[in-house]
């Protein structure tokens, strides 16, 4: 599989070919730079930003860029509820004291419309017209990378989340991912982020694969549904070697990968791919499944797979089945489909702003909105927890370099658990890592949330990466 391991007695180095050629983040970064051309380019933007920073005031201005509409809108679904809680917290409602000065905090929201170019434009508006001191952003590379790159060029602190760190890192000029999956290049001066990357995806899914492998007659052959787009090509390059390296380091027997082919987004007929997965390798069909498609593509594919009698023992999916909308669209075919989870109501975590528990947070969301809790509410809330921690560390909240440096030193416990932006185990300084758990969608409501019964809920079935979050149900094969 092209994996090289050190022969010494120490830890093994994972060599992961392919990451160096992944251009996903870089292309989005270049789009961000191009997007500033309409307002005079990066140099003019940086000059305008510096002028705004020189105007001291008693208000700390925060910009929030989020995909309120468009293909990524599900991520932003909880925004209004989360922002209402943030704005009612004393730090935002009454202000915070820094040194001997009390500052109000003002939050301005901008919609990226799930479009990288618009993300760049609205970020520029926040810097030039609103004069923000700091920008936070969330929800997939198409928003977070353009926002971060514009902020870096303008010298404005930026904190982002819900983007694989490898893609985010590659968005900055001169940065890349090395053969071992490591960050190559210098950390951006003004930008930080928290989420996780491909190794965490693997370490979340592989334990579930191994457990099903031991309890069933499954073949050790897995299928990959990776489209011919930026996400798909990145996963295609990184997933097989990363899986092989981690599996080898743990003493596992090799897995065989069957690539479904670089199909076009929004395809309507997956028959050829399904036949390939049924044929598998060496006379053994694919009994495990990994993907990263657009949600409608998975919906179409999964229905066709069932109709054509390809039923893998365990499906572990990425980028889809994060939200109830995906699940209800599939109905019974959602049963025991697994994915990653970075915020769970049954976690023993609390808000650093108010002391509110994760369980209460999710329960109140359901009570107020009538909607089922979603993972992105936790990461969005954490954005505002982190910036408050950073402001505690500076003498002047309008000193953008000081705030940017403070973000890189934040270490605290909050609604998504412990986050340490300067931990030695991080891939780079200023890149905080959340440890996800594995969930499966099963019928019924989880006990901890309550208030309303839902037909389907995500149940924690594997906590290999995060023992703090208790199991809620037994891992079961997706198909017996």
Q: Are residues 273 and 185 in the same domain?
A: no
| End-of-domain residue from the set 433, 448, 473 | 433
Asked whether residue 331 falls in the same domain as residue 367, the answer is no
Specify the pLDDT at position 284. 97
Question: Each residue of 71-114: pLDDT tens digit?
Answer: 889 999 999 999 999 999 999 999 999 988 999 999 999 999 99
DSSP state of 252: P
* 249: in domain: yes
Q: Do 59 and 171 sit in the same domain of this protein?
A: yes
Are residues 388 and 287 part of one domain?
A: no
Claim to verify: residue 47 and residue 183 sit in the same structural domain: yes
Per DSSP bridges, beta strands 101-111 and 431-433 are unpaired
Residue 55 sits in the same domain as residue 160: yes
| Spatial distance between the Cα atoms of 29 and 142, rounded to a whole number of angstroms | 10
Q: How many Å apart are CA 212 and CA 342, to the nearest integer?
A: 22
Does residue 233 sit in the same domain as residue 152?
no
Per-residue confidence (pLDDT) for residue 294, from 0 to 100: 84
Q: Is residue 441 part of a domain?
A: yes
How many domains does the chain divide into? 2
33 and 175, same domain (yes or no)? yes
Residues 82 and 189 in one domain: yes
pLDDT beneath 70: ranges in the chain:
1-56, 230, 445-452
Indicate the SS3 state at residue 39: helix
Q: Quick one: pLDDT at residue 166?
A: 87
Output the CA torsion 248→250→256→261 (10° steps).
-90
Q: Which tens digit of pLDDT belongs to each residue from 377-414? A: 999 999 999 999 999 999 999 999 999 999 999 999 99
Domain assignment of residue 424, yes or no? yes
CATH number at residue 429: 3.40.50.2300
**262 within domain boundaries:** yes
Length of the chain: 480
Query: Measured between alpha carbons, how far is 209 from 189 in angstroms, rounded to an integer?
Result: 39
Q: Given this model, what pLDDT does residue 46 score?
A: 60
- Does the residue 470 lie in any domain? no
Half-sphere exposure of 456 (CA within 13 A, CB side): 24
Residues 102 and 248 in one domain: no
Residue 131 domain flag: yes
Pick from 233, 162, 241, 232: nearest CA to 199: 241
The C-alpha atoms of residue 107 and residue 87 are separated, in whole angstroms, by: 8
**90 and 183: one domain?**
yes
The answer to whether residues 475 and 440 touch, using CB atoms and an 8 Å cutoff, is yes
For the record, the structure tokens of 235 come out as 């996963």
User: Tokens standing for 358?
Assistant: 């994760």
In a domain, 43, yes or no: yes
pLDDT of amino acid 14: 35
In a domain, 479, yes or no: no
DSSP symbol at 461? E
Q: Which domain holds residue 111?
A: 21-196+348-433
Secondary structure element (H or E) that encloses residue 154, with its range: helix 141-154
């Amino acid at each position: 599989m092209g994996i090289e391991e050190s022969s010494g007695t120490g830890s093994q180095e994972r060599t992961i070919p392919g990451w160096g050629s992944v251009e996903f983040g870089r292309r989005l970064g270049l789009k961000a730079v191009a997007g500033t051309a309409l307002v005079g380019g990066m140099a003019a933007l940086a000059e305008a930003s510096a002028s705004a920073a020189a105007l001291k005031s008693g208000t700390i201005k925060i910009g929030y860029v989020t995909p309120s509409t468009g293909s990524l809108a599900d991520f932003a679904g909880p925004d209004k509820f989360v922002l209402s809680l943030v704005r009612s917290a004393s730090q935002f409602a009454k202000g915070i004291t820094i040194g001997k000065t009390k500052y109000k905090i003002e939050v301005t929201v901008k919609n990226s419309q799930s479009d990288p170019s618009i993300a760049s434009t609205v970020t520029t508006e926040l810097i030039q017209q609103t004069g923000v001191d700091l920008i936070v952003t969330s929800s997939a590379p198409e928003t977070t990378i353009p926002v971060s790159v514009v902020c870096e060029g303008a010298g404005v602190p930026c904190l982002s989340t819900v983007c694989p760190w490898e893609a985010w890192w590659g968005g900055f000029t001169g940065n890349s991912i090395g053969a071992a999956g490591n960050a190559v290049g210098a950390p951006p001066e003004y930008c930080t982020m928290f989420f996780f990357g491909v190794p965490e995806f693997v370490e979340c899914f592989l334990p579930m694969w191994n457990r099903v492998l031991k309890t069933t007659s499954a073949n050790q052959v897995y299928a990959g549904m990776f489209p011919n787009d930026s996400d798909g090509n990145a996963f295609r390059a990184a997933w097989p070697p990363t899986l092989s390296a981690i599996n080898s380091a743990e003493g596992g027997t090799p897995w065989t990968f069957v690539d479904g082919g670089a199909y076009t987004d929004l395809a309507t007929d997956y028959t050829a791919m399904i036949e390939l997965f049924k044929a598998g390798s060496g006379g053994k069909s694919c009994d495990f499944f990994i993907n990263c498609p657009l949600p409608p593509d998975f919906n179409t594919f999964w229905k066709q797979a069932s109709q054509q009698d390809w039923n893998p023992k365990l499906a572990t999916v990425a980028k889809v089945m994060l939200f109830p909308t995906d699940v209800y669209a599939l109905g019974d075919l959602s049963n025991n489909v697994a994915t990653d989870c970075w915020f769970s109501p049954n976690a023993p975590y609390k808000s650093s702003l108010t002391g509110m528990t994760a369980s209460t947070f999710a329960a109140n969301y359901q009570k107020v909105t009538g909607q089922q809790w979603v993972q992105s509410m936790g990461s969005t809330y954490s954005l505002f927890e982190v910036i408050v921690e950073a402001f505690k560390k500076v003498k002047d909240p309008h000193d953008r370099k000081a705030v940017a440096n403070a973000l890189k030193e934040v270490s605290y416990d909050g609604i998504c658990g412990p986050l340490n932006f300067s931990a030695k185990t991080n891939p780079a300084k200023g890149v905080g890592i959340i440890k996800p758990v594995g969930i499966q969608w099963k019928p019924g409501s989880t006990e901890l949330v309550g208030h309303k019964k839902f037909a389907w809920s995500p149940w924690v079935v594997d906590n290999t990466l995060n023992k703090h979050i208790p199991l809620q149900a037994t891992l079961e094969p997706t198909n017996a």
